[in-house]
Amino acid sequence: MSIVKLRISAKASEGLRRLKHKTSMTPNFLCRFAVCRSLSDPQYVIQENRERTGLEFNRHTLTGDLDAALRALLSAKQGSGLTEEDYLNGPLRDELERGIGLLWRDVQNAGTFEAALLAALEPKKSAT
């Protein structure tokens, strides 16, 4: 049986509301950016808070054509294959919730979403 719904925490939902207000982008679009933002950080994250009283997303609406690619990236980052349930209720939710916080911090620091994206695309300077 394929799992089709993903519910996030109230804290992450509030972060999405703030981002939507600041950027005028839809939550689904922001969620895709948030997952990618979190994946760009090599640190593996496990969320301790499994509260799920926030927004609910349809899997296809949230991940769209990126579903298989996101699952592969999350499997690689975790170091093992993921079952359907593990994918949605574990790493995807964890990276999404973490990414919302990272994206909000980036937007706050840069001033606008566009400036945050440009800063993220700049090559990192090595400490040599």
* Helix 93-110, helix 10-23: angle, nearest 10: 40
* Domain ranges within the chain, ordered by starting residue: 5-121
Eight-state DSSP code of residue 79: T
What's residue 20's pLDDT?
95
Give the Cα separation of 52 and 74 in Å (integer).
21
Provide the whole-model pTM.
0.85
The superfamily (CATH) of domain 5-121 is DNA sulphur modification protein DndE (1.10.1220.160)
* pLDDT tens for the chain, residues 1 to 128: 467 888 999 999 999 999 999 999 999 999 999 999 998 887 766 666 678 899 999 988 888 898 889 988 888 887 777 887 788 878 888 899 999 999 999 999 999 999 998 888 887 765 55
Residue 1 structure tokens: 């049986």
Nearest to 41 by CA among 110, 123, 126, 120: 120
